Structure 1
Amino acid sequence: MRASAIAHPNVALIKYWGKKDAADNLPAVGSLSLTLGALSTETTVEFDPALTHDVLVLNGHEQPLEQGRLTACMDAFRAFAGCDEFAAVTTVNDFPTGAGLASSASGYAALVTAASAALGMDHRESGLSPGTDLADIARIGSGSAPRSLFGGIALLSIEERGTNCRQLATPAEWPLSVVVAVTTEDKKKITSRDGMAQSRLTSPFYAAWIHDHADDLNAGIRCVEARDFFALAALAEHNCLKMHSVMMTTQPALLYWSPVTLACMHKVMSLRADGVPVFFTVDAGPQLKAVCLPDALANVTAALHDVPGVLRIIAGELGGGASVVRR
């Protein structure tokens, strides 16, 4: 029983930071994201009766099974399928891992898609829904992973006992481009999961962030429905900066930006002041993502490429949802 799947990472425009239930890895708030077609993760899952435990090989290196997340995901599939075999999971990212580019989101989205196919549980046949069942299993590994199950623009809603994820717009329905300025390829020192726990306990801004978040999320949905790029630009940048204010006021402070990140922010604001349709967003890491209309892609790419300290540029359109590529 073997299958391979590809998924793309995503970048949240209306972000989540914090857990409603840490044990269940349930986000405290919903989120809205873009799926990044220029980056991808390919994962192969093979259930093998000879294995005595699950095995993860990431970019050619066997990994410790951190906090049991992978095994918990596989246990959920084993329970659904009535299977008692362990799995060998092989994952390859074509972009930096653990550096603020949502590698865990694409990794777990690809994992659940491949595992479902390997067990013959493709959702149309088994009743597993990608928006609920697969999303809840993917969420065990990464709170952002359900969004990478979908292409284009995705909405993750938090419900009483789980999550619901759906697509708001396909890449064709609202063509947008994303330019990623890679400022370092080093792993971040504090993981998002650990950082969120610290913020909840110590940031004086955390309660306000949670309290006001629904307003941002609902406004973001309206912007997408209206295809209002400039309203979304203002909202997304403000939401990003609010999230980072929570991080920065955490004790000890979570300073995920680098000087190059800040220089890229200034460059994007300068471009927009000159009439270029572009805005920035930054997740828990130093990489800046510039979202623009397709006609501005070449201009934005060239401008960020010239920022001193930028290692490389990854530019492209919105991507599709997670998909099986081999069985």
Structure 2
Amino acid sequence: METTKSTAVANSNIAVIKYWGKRDERLNLPANNSISFTMDDQLQTMTTVEFDGHLKQDVLVLNDRPATSKETGRVTAFLDIVRKMTKIKTKAKVVSKNSFPKSAGLASSASGFAALAGAASRAAGLNLSLRELSVLARYGSGSASRSIFGGAVEWLAGKKKDGSDSYSVQLSPQEDWANLRNVIGVVSESEKKVSSVEGMWRLKTSALFQSRLKTMDARLKTVRAAIKRNTFEDAVIPIMQDSDNMHAVMLDCWPPVRYLTDTSFEIMEKVLELNESHGKPVAAYTFDAGPNAHVYTTEKYAHEVERMLKYTDGVLRTLNCKIGKGIRFVNEDLF
């Protein structure tokens, strides 16, 4: 099979109904469905892959520096899946750049492995469908499955043991959400002390986790319906409830998984006060595995939310993100 150099671009996604916990760790299968919005190009990864017969091992350059052995090992494990699919044994050079800090709760693994799935599969001579790319990306990072698509996206947990029914689908396109914003309050740009993988591994010690799964369907149904009707305000409360619930489960683990900071909690209170001041739900906070606040709101209230975040002690900077595109392939290579 002919191999070439290929470059793919993917954006991170920020879930409004969270994925936290797996039904199969080896296949990276989630315990529940999740729903997200894909972000604009401010949260983007570009990745170039070339399989090169002269290489004795895979080479990874990440954000202009040689990757650590741990980072390279994770990428090699992913490339091995592509090599198995294509029956090639050639090692690859991978160069990847993020437009934002990695491992700080801005979903860098989602955009990173989505871009890697696209670039590596094309470089290996495959021409996968979006669904097939979603399945492939899932092996690298669960949330990467959702970054294959733009707009509003749902990742299906599936029920089959082989994971063939666990992939993402687009609920509505980017164009339907021209009015929606994710105003991000960056509280930390440091790599988190407890990785998402480690955090999920600790779930086996949580008594609250099964309770979370039992209440998940109701939130999924409400948010899915709000997306179908394009009525963001109907999704505000369940979005915040799901974030709170996930972090409560994290704290229920042993050792506890603490991602939120005092600044994170202050932002939560300010969002609730903002909604109360308007007499209706206009903004929803949500936190991934990190202290950074993602405040979903509409264009009408985005500047008000941004001012609120800027005047919160502990917020380093803000980003005002629109809803973005899914994966795309470009002719501009990184090497």
Alignment-derived partner of residue 74 in structure 1: 79
Choose which of 213, 217, 220 in structure 2 pairs with 1:214: 217
Query: Is the contact made by 2:16 and 2:35 (CA closer than 8 Å) also made in structure 1?
Result: yes
Matches within 5 A, 1:128-207: 128-131=128-131, 133-159=132-158, 160=160, 161-162=162-163, 163-175=166-178, 176-199=180-203, 201-207=204-210
Residue 65 of structure 1: how far off its partner (Å): 4.1
Alignment-derived partner of residue 110 in structure 1: 115
TM-score normalised according to structure 2 size: 0.91
* SS of alignment partner, residue 173 of structure 1: helix
Choose which of 304, 314, 318 in structure 1 pairs with 2:319: 314
| Matched positions, count | 320
Matches within 5 A, 1:31-110: 31-37=34-40, 38-63=42-67, 64-66=69-71, 68-110=73-115
**How far, CA to CA, are the matches of 2:314 and 2:44 in structure 1?**
24
Range with greater deviation from structure 2 (295-304 or 63-72): 63-72
Does 1:242 pair with 2:241? no
Alignment-derived partner of residue 295 in structure 2: 290
Residue 68 of structure 1: how far off its partner (Å): 4.3
- 1:115-152 CA-partner distances (Å, limit 9, x unpaired): 12223323xxxxx2222x22222111101001011111
Identity of aligned residues (%): 37
TM-score normalised according to structure 1 size: 0.94
**How far, CA to CA, are the matches of 1:192 and 1:79 in structure 2?**
27
**How far, CA to CA, are the matches of 2:110 and 2:286 in structure 1?**
17
**How far, CA to CA, are the matches of 2:31 and 2:156 in structure 1?**
10
Gap runs ≥5 in structure 2: none
Query: Is the contact made by 1:69 and 1:140 (CA closer than 8 Å) also made in structure 2?
Result: no
Query: Is the contact made by 1:65 and 1:71 (CA closer than 8 Å) also made in structure 2?
Result: no
Query: Is the contact made by 1:108 and 1:145 (CA closer than 8 Å) also made in structure 2?
Result: yes
Residue 67 of structure 1: how far off its partner (Å): 8.9
Residue 66 of structure 1: how far off its partner (Å): 4.7
Alignment-derived partner of residue 27 in structure 2: 24
CA distance 1:149–1:93, change in 2 (3 Å) = same
**How far, CA to CA, are the matches of 2:5 and 2:267 in structure 1?**
43
**How far, CA to CA, are the matches of 1:290 and 1:85 in structure 2?**
44
Residue 76 of structure 1: how far off its partner (Å): 2.3
**How far, CA to CA, are the matches of 2:221 and 2:78 in structure 1?**
30
Range with greater deviation from structure 2 (312-321 or 55-64): 55-64
Gap runs ≥5 in structure 1: 123-127
Superposition CA RMSD, Å: 1.6
CA distance 1:193–1:67, change in 2 (3 Å) = farther
**How far, CA to CA, are the matches of 1:44 and 1:253 in structure 2?**
38
Alignment-derived partner of residue 260 in structure 1: 263
**How far, CA to CA, are the matches of 2:105 and 2:33 in structure 1?**
19
CA distance 1:29–1:220, change in 2 (3 Å) = same
Alignment-derived partner of residue 125 in structure 1: none
Residue 111 of structure 1: how far off its partner (Å): 0.5
* SS of alignment partner, residue 130 of structure 2: coil
